Amino acid sequence: MRKRRVCYVGALGLALAVAVPGTALASGTQNVEAGFSPDKNPNVTVPAPSANLSNQFSKNGTIRFHLFLSNIVGQPPALQTVDIHSPEELKFNTKGLAQCDPGSLEGLTPTDARAACPDAQIGTGAATAFGIPQPGQVTLFNGTEQNGNPTTLFHTFTANVPIVLVSEMQDSPLPGYGVLFHTPVSTTAGGGVPPGIVITDTDFTNGKTYKDKKILKKAKKAKKQGNTKKYKKLKKKAKKSWVQAKCTDGTLKTQVDFIHAPPEPTQSPTAEQPCTS
């Protein structure tokens, strides 16, 4: 796999409008809003203002994605897959980050899920199901690899029903995009999505920073050996941000493919954020 670059996700798949099979009269408009900030855990607004970046990757980074369905007529359309094509100016780091097995989150409340994989948690958000006014919590985790690729887990707790979606981080086949968050949303880590749970609005933010323990171990070894220069270099290198960005052409562009069950067509809305370098 080629080196992962900065792209607008939003994610982690990521937290995506989950739907179960609808009726023949189903219709609605899929939408996406995305924003990046080079700061650690800020309140990122969407639609996002211009990001002040450079032609080098930012030290830190936070992304926010808002995926929602509007103009709903009848039962919301059924979704099978959500593919988030992030900007090629984004880079995602998972090496050295704790991983969470999706099976360990099955059936858990948000509190218990976060307690099960505290070091692997990378983001939070909320999701609203069709016909249920009270939004549920969304928690994002760095998952175990799937098909040799990193994954992002979306633990959604809507209507008191836990759902765990697995989003595989692939290379986007579209020109101008970087990492693809490929997320089947009709199935969960434990099987099928429970009937009656149709998420029509989800909003999540990812701003994880962490330290690569393997690099820190090498740094400590260098310190014991009296190699102060190498120690400082490795200690600095060990500090990582899950997402970083740079500005190359003045725009960070995200595309999300909402792939519905037939006969509903695929919808591919985009979101653009200006950036300066």
**In the block, residue with structure tokens 């999706």:** 102
Pull the structure tokens for residue 115.
């307690």
Predicted pLDDT at 189 = 65
pLDDT at 5: 37
Cα gap 144→160, rounded to integer Å: 25
Q: Mean pLDDT, consecutive 10-residue segments, the chain of 277 residues? A: 38 39 61 95 88 95 96 86 97 96 95 97 94 92 97 92 94 97 81 68 94 90 89 90 96 96 92 94
In the CATH hierarchy, which fold is given to the domain comprising 27-207+242-276? Immunoglobulin-like (2.60.40)
pTM for the structure as a whole: 0.87
Residue 209, pLDDT score? 95
Model pLDDT, residue 20: 36
Domain ranges, ordered by start, for the chain: 27-207+242-276, 211-241
